[in-house]
Structures are given as structure tokens and as C-alpha cells.
Structure 1
């Protein structure tokens, strides 16, 4: 390939080693002198000394891109991970200072690697709390008694019947075998107590709602840790889970993803309409769990 001789990261080292040129800034000059101890020039080529590898040939951006492509997806390439790719290039005798970062970017944009990457099952959207302002509509008829208590003070602590009528229900067993409160029943005192409870029920309900809100927030925080937020915008390029579009497309040699496609519309967080690259619409809506960003 043709060598690019335009200025790049090697230029300051070559100028210093060949001509003794240093930057005007004293700090930069000192750092350059320290780094230059690891380099030397032989027959016009800059080399880098290492402790664990052979002497490495220093290369510019164009040669670096060629090395990344050849080692990763060339004749003997096997689409290895970014860190393995950087190590393999070094073992084959080449060096530039951003080799690991460039390898990460290159692998991230490799289409074949993206098509065969694992399908994550983590939620792409954060959970949201749903709190009803009408407890009885949510809980229904009380046939279970008091709900089991959550840890701490996060449970309601009250039965649905009490939240609806202001007092606890008399259980059927108390009719056949009277309990202490049934034996000592006073109709007049009971009527006064029921009326008092009705007057106080709003305060009890407010306390329960506050406890439920706190419980919902704790629950949301717990499940948010298991979410990996993915927010796609209109015209973003995405890949689609192959199995989601065709459940019969399974097997070790079949790509896990297909595409790329464009996001046509964001219906609501985590749900999207897609279109082909020629902008023809794709039927159905697609959940963010079945999509991943495509890099190019």
C-alpha cells in the first residue's frame, strides 16, 4: 500500500531524534524527551522498543486502518474482540499510541460482528410506578385478610375492607364460634365507633398511599438496576433480532441480528416503527428489547 507521509503522531519524535527539534513549551518538550527514549530510527523508519514484544514498527493512521482490517477480517482474520485484536497486531510487530481505542471503534463498527453479537434480555426502558388513587378498584373484594408485610414500613399495613369502610370485617368463623369482640358486642358503642372510623378513614387512606408510593419507588429502584436504557431517535440505524422477525431462523450459523434498518417513528419509549434503507415501511411495531444500534 502507498505510505502517507503527511504529519501525524510520529512527526515530533522523528524531528527530535533526527534534528533535535523540541516544542517551545517546556512541559511538552520534557514529556517528548521522556517518551522518545522508547523510540529509535533505522533507515528512515521509526521503531518502538518494548519489554515483552519484539521491536515494533511505528505506523501512521492509514497503515493502522489497514492493519486493523487485515488482522480482524482479512484472509486469516477471525473477527476477534477489540483487546485481542490490539494484542495480535502488537505481536505481529506494529505500533501506534491509540491502538486499543482504535481497535474498539473498529470492532464496534464491524457489520459481521454486530450481526452475530449476543441478544441481551435486559429491559431497554426504565420501569415506571403505577399507583391507583382508588385502592378498592385495585384490590377488589377482601377475601384474604391482611396483606403480608413487606420489609420495614413499606407495606400498606391495612386490609382493603378497612380502607373501603373504615373498620375491620367480621370473619365467618366469628359467627359460628364468637370471639371476644363478638361476645362483648355493644350495638350503640359499635355504631358510634363505626361513624368515628368513617370520619378518620381519609387520614388512614392518605397514610397508606404515602407508604405505597414509597414502596413503589423502592421497587422501581431495584428493577432499574436490571435495565439497560436504549433510546433510539428517528432515522437512527438499528439491527433487529432475527428470531423476533422469524422464530424459525435459529441455529449456530445463523446471524442473531438482521438489517440494518432505519427508525421511522418513536411511538412511545421503547417501542418503534421501522423502515428499510430505501425507506419502505416495515409492518408491525418493534420493542427496543429486540433492537440494537448499528454502527458504520
Structure 2
């Protein structure tokens, strides 16, 4: 039946329909508001202005366009620049005489058009926009939206305002209700916590300082909760790799719960009964061929076998031959191989593998050698491979592992000239025109722009002058500076980085390629992307993951920095060493067998596991 509530809603709809939006001319004394939406193939914009009488926004002009084939291949940031230039030029009858307030999703466009760039399109568009008075407005300073597409671009899930200055506000929430966490209710003793907020995880682990006062109550409350557990670990995990949390969120979004439905909690009971935690193989003192020999001697099966075991034992015994008390195995070519037990097999492997000539063959070749000598046991190949794996000389003389231990991951360079790599080229011959021997090179990781000068000697004063004059004065203060572990990077460089608040990172001593600079940059962006994808796929196929934990025994790759008198007979690995501490960045702190800790970390690709 039709009621008053339905009638009221119907009247509201009619009131909206009889008042359609009407385009109005602009007022010369007030700024214009430009709403710009950029999609993959289309752009749309609305030019509006606030009305003084009603403080409402009135539409002045609508525009839309489809990108052509060349423009559709632009990166996202270049599409935004191209769309802005096209809209400003099409509406020049308004934009030339008014201040334009441009609503932006991020500040990348503002900084990209406001700083020098080596990209041809960006430089051209920046010159075209200099004649207009454009004011960039971030989304936090706009209270209302008038375009449906723009509302979809910046929509949120609820009506609760979020403080943009407070980091990760949507991740942690303190409630006034005195509720007990689920893990405490279930009496969990050991808890592993994975989070995609780097700020929250590293401040909880005391690796970062909590400088923001609003975060202090959260960490105090978290410390109170940690006291309820015996062991708690916090691990940072990238959001793209947290598939388990994504699956839970997807399942939760598919469940519709109303107030009328009552969901009863699940109750778990913790029992103190015995459980199976490990499997230990019992040794009865008999050789592996005892049942086969018993069957061939007495023609009787053991009493504990069933029908299936008897059929299997009869099939296996057909390949063996008993001569007196000696059991032989009949090979495929008819040769009789004497069966040996575990103790004799161990002595045979040691004698053949480390004989007078010390051939030190691999596991499969060792097994074939023992068979040619007339010996056999059931786990021959497995035992030989395991024996070779634990041989000390085979480990220190083994070929160096050149396969990468982990897959490639992208380096985050969010905007041009934010991350620079700096290195020194060795003395050049012949000398430069000014008589200098060294070349100091700095490369931007985003645009691959190169800055280089020649210097007489590699000193910290010259490097600091180059960083201040050729980098900071030209392109602004960078966010990150990556250098190697050279001695010339001393306290003077650290003070300069601290003065301009530049984050400085060093590469590991055993991984100098980490600071390698790109010598040339392709002009075609499409070819660069295709090459990077092809290299990443080929690189990831060769990955052999190597994980190390504290107290593991490892061997360290010997770097041939000076000629060795032993030549090709020199050790390829040094050690063994003990893993003292393993970091998330694939760096390892080692100590020798006497407990003396090494001062410098070692990258994981210079290590391999040692088997005593």
C-alpha cells in the first residue's frame, strides 16, 4: 500500500527533475574550478564557479575527448598533462582571464610541471601552461564534488571523516568498548602478526621511533595486549603478496548479515592429551636385506607380513641370489653384486670417494663406480648423493653459484629526480683534457638522466661540492641517495645528507652490482618496458632460493681481488662461518667458528650452505 514515506520520496524525485542543471556565465571577480577526470581511453572535465548567494557550484562548460592511438600509449602521468593542456587551450576564452583552481588526486602533476624535466613532452606542455594562472588544489581542501565521475574517483566506503595528516588511520582503530581480542579468548600462546603498514610494524618492533603523538596511545595499548602471549612476532608484508588477507576480505564482502540474523560464536576446546610431534625411525640391528635373505633360505615369509607385503617381497627376491651366507643382487646385465649393510656401505663410500687419487666425483657417478666394483644396497644413489653433499673438499672447491637467490623486485622511484645513484669511475687513460683522472657519475633512477664531472682525486670534499652544485642546485633536493661503501663517503657526505634530509643507502660489500648505474637509456619507452619484462622473466627462471637463519653453517665466496699463487687450485669458498643475524634485505652478519663477528654484512648471493 502507498504510504506517506513513499509519497515523500516521490515528491523529492520530482523536485530534482523540475530543476535541471543550467550552464551559467562566469563572474569576472571569482576563480574558476576545473574538475578533470582521466581514464584509459577518455578524458572528461567540468568548469564551474561558486555562487556567492547560495555558496553552491554552478557549471559553466563541459568537455570530453577520446585519446588517439599515440596518446593512449602515454604513461598515466603524461596522460594527465596532455589532458590538462588540451582542456586549458579549448577553454582559453575563460582560462586566460580567470584564476583556475585545478582539483588533483595527487601532487605528482604539480611537481612535474613545476620542476625542470628532460622529457620532451613534459617540457613542451610546461611552456604552454606558463601563460595561465593555474592553482593546484589537493582533494583534502575540497568539500564537495559536482561530477559523478569525480565522485567515483575519490569515493570512500563510509561517511566517517579521515584525517589525511594521520598515517594509516584506516588500519588501526581504538574502541571505547571493553572487548577482549579473539586470540586472547582462544588462549593463544604464540602469535604471528603480518601487516602491510610499514610504519606500524617497524614502530612496533622499535626499529623506528614514534614521533607522531597520536600514535603513542596505539602502541601503549598494543604493548598491553602483547603481555597476554608467550611469543609474538610482527612481520611486514607487501599488500600485493598478502593473498590470505585478500581472500578473507573477499569472503567477508560476499556475506550479507542483517540485524535479525544471530551468529553464534564457535567454541574451541584445548586439551592436554598427547600429540604426534615427530617421527623417529627405530633401528632393529638387522641389515636391510634380512627379510629377503630369510625368504631365500627358508622359503618362508615373516610372520608380520600380509598378502600385499608377501607379493611385493616375492617380486623383489626374484632379483637376488643367495650363495651360502652371501647375498648377491642380479643386475640388468646379469652381473652379481654383493649386498652390503649400512656400516660397510659408509666405509666403501669414503674409500672410493676419497681414495688415493681423490677423484671426488658427484653422487651419481660414485654410485655407478661402486656398482662397477661389485657392491650394492637399496638406497645406493641417495646415500652417495648425501655423502658427497657433506664432503668438505667438495663444498669448498665447488663451482660458485651464479643463479640469483631471489626474484627481481622494482625500485620505487615515484617522481623524477627523487632517487639518485652516485659512483666513481676508476682512473682513465689517457687523462682528460684538464688533466684529471677520475669521473664522478650520478644517475637519476626515474628519468635515467646522467650528470658527470671529472675530478683530480676521489675525496669527500669534491663529492660534496658535486652533490650540492650539480644535483641539489639544478634538480632540487633528492629523497634518496645510493652509494657504495667507499672510504671517501665519510662524515662530510653524511652531514650534507643530514642537512638537506636526504636518505642515504649503501650497497652490501659482497654485492657491488647493487649500485650499478644504467649507462644508456632507450628513447622508446615501449621498447624499454618490453626489454625489462623479458629480462625479468629470464632472470626469475634461474632463481634458486637460498634462505639462511641464525646458527646455520655457511661458506663465503672468495673474491679474487689479487692474484693467488695457487691459481685454479685455490679455494672458491672460504669458511665455514656461522650466521649471526639475518636481515630482511638479504644481508647476513657472519662470525667465524671462534665467535668473532665480522664488521661488514654479506649479501646472500655470496653464501651457500655448509654441510659438516
Q: Same fold (TM over 0.5)?
A: yes
Residue 150, structure 1, aligned to residue 496, structure 2: no
| Alpha-carbon distance in 2 for matches of 1:292, 1:26 | 48
Partner of 2:344: 63
Could you tell me which of 586, 590, 602 is aligned with 1:274? 590
Displacement after TM superposition at 1:229 (Å):
1.9
**Residues 140 and 39 of structure 1: is their aligned pair in 2 closer, same or farther, counting only changes over 3 Å?**
closer
Q: 1:289 to 1:140 in 2, by over 3 A?
A: closer
Mapped to 2, the partners of 1:11 and 1:81 lie a distance apart of 30
Deviations 1:252-294 (A, max 9, x none): 1111112111011113332111101121112322122221110
Partner of 2:458: none
Partner residue in 2 for 1:14: 293
CA distance in structure 2 between the partners assigned to 1:6 and 1:41 by the alignment: 21
The answer to whether the aligner puts 1:130 opposite 2:411 as a matched pair is yes
Q: TM-score, normalised by structure 1?
A: 0.69
Q: Which has the higher helix share?
A: 1
For this pair of structures, how many residues does the alignment match?
227
1:40 has 2:321 as partner? yes
Q: 1:47 to 1:278 in 2, by over 3 A?
A: same
Superposed, 1:230-245 pairs within 5 Å as 230-243=546-559
| Unaligned segments of structure 1, at least 5 residues | 156-214
Measured against aligned partners, the alpha-carbon deviations of 1:146-173 in whole angstroms (never above 9, x if no partner) come to: 9414269x68xxxxxxxxxxxxxxxxxx
Question: What residue is the counterpart of 2:186 in the other structure?
Answer: none
Structure with higher RCO (Cα < 8 A, 6+ apart):
1
TM-score (norm 2): 0.35
Pick aligned residue for 1:91 from 361, 372, 378: 372
Look up the SS of the partner of 1:89 in the other structure. helix
Matched with 2:567 is: 251
- Whole-Å separation in 2 of the counterparts to 1:111 and 1:217: 40
- The structure having more radius of gyration, on CA atoms, is 2
Q: Do structure 1's residue 29 and structure 2's residue 310 form an aligned pair?
A: yes
Q: Distance in 1 between matches of 2:413 and 2:532?
A: 11
1:115–1:45 Cα change, 3 Å: same
Q: Which structure carries more strand by proportion?
A: 2
Deviation at 1:248, TM superposition (A): 3.6
5+ residue gaps, structure 2 = 1-283, 419-445, 450-521
Counterpart secondary structure, 1:268: coil
Residue pair 1:274, 1:282 contacting (<8 A) in 2 also: yes
Contact 1:238–1:292 (Cα < 8 Å) also in 2: yes
Distance 1:140 1:150 in 2: 15
